[in-house]
Amino acid sequence: MNFVEEVTKDIVPNTFTAFAEQIESDPKGTLQHVEGVLKSLYVRYGNDWTGRGIVGDSTQEAAIAGLEAVRVECLTRIENGKKQ
């Protein structure tokens, strides 16, 4: 397994796990928080004029992927709550 795969394998599920309780108790609030963090990360990802390198890029991409998974779970719970 290469470095990028290892970083992704570690960060993505750990990010989701870190937000699990918040998703359960307050999906709307968690969604707002995560979307704010994602906005910041996407801006930071685009501002790479000095070059982060493979380590920085991989870590940031994995954090974004983990937070996008949290975002999707929040949206799913919110939508399912409306249907019930």
The pLDDT tens digits for 26-81 are 999 999 999 999 999 999 988 877 788 888 889 999 999 999 999 999 999 999 98
Neighbours of 77 (CB within 10 A): 17
Residue 49 pLDDT? 76
Mean pLDDT of 2-16: 90
Is the Cβ–Cβ distance between 2 and 8 less than 8 Å? no
Q: What is the pLDDT of residues 28-39, one digit of tens each?
A: 999 999 999 999
Residue 11 CA to residue 13 CA, distance in Å, equals 6
